[in-house]
Chain A
């Protein structure tokens, strides 16, 4: 294996898409947990909407990534196990206070954005023929990346309004 190897097999691509699923799971579970940890005076329709949207968007991204993995010639994916693990981990932990919640949400979306950006670059740098349609793969990942970028902007504006 040489340094700077790019995504050169279906298995590698499947692993990376699975990592995307984990990042989405984390955002999804944390958004749900965050709202539960808010005190009564911190809850309002705007916060609820923001976290609801984040959760739904992550679930949608996860499904789109799963659909891509299904088309690959790769080993079985223990998705239920990942969901159980992420859920168990976050059932007991939460950020401290309201600022922590928004910051955590922002960090989750920024991390996902960075990941998709690097993944797209790695796929574009590789000339591998995957078992799925390359154009569809890149179009899906770019669409998800843009939604993450929008999410970052939305949370940032929300934080500024609340400041």
Chain B
């Protein structure tokens, strides 16, 4: 998953939690990067028609951005579930975050063929716990 997709996923989840635009600070906290880095990436996402940034309010995803964010979230959910269910990794949330930049969507789709994922994925993703809702209680959130 590339960096832009990681940002889209974070914006999508923060928007869902805050029920409105995602603030730069909340995104910086969630991604553990500087607010300057967040602003830079938001500018790029805006240029690509994936997000809208309104001063003092925050960033919202466009329809296209939402679609891409949901795909990224689904890829991430597959990685978490694969680490947990197949490789039996205890600290799967932190390991999934460490590996997500190396795992492409097509690779995740292949891994998806050997895990049982809920049809409502990624709607059931737990944004607060930052992990697949099916796995909440089994892994330590960051």
Contact = CB atoms under 8 A, between A and B. Distances in A.
Interface string A68-92: 0000000101100110011001000
Interface stretch (A34-42, A111-119, A144-152, A155-163): A111-119
B110 A3 contact: no
A136 interface: no
B82 to A, nearest CB: 8
B103 A118 contact: yes
B54 interface: no
Interface residues of B, number: 29
A78 to B, nearest CB: 6
A81 B86 CA distance: 8
Interface stretch (B12-20, B61-69, B91-99, B121-129): B91-99
Grouping DSSP codes into helix (H, G, I), strand (E, B) and loop, the A interface class, with mixed when no group exceeds half, is: helix
Grouping DSSP codes into helix (H, G, I), strand (E, B) and loop, the B interface class, with mixed when no group exceeds half, is: helix
Interface in A1-55: 1-9, 11-12, 15-16, 18-19, 22-23, 26
Contacts of A122: 101-102
B95 A12 contact: yes
Interface of B: 3, 6-7, 31-33, 82-83, 86-89, 94-95, 97-99, 101-104, 106-107, 109-111, 113-114, 142
Interface of A: 1-9, 11-12, 15-16, 18-19, 22-23, 26, 75, 77-78, 81-82, 85-86, 89, 108, 110-111, 114-115, 118-119, 122
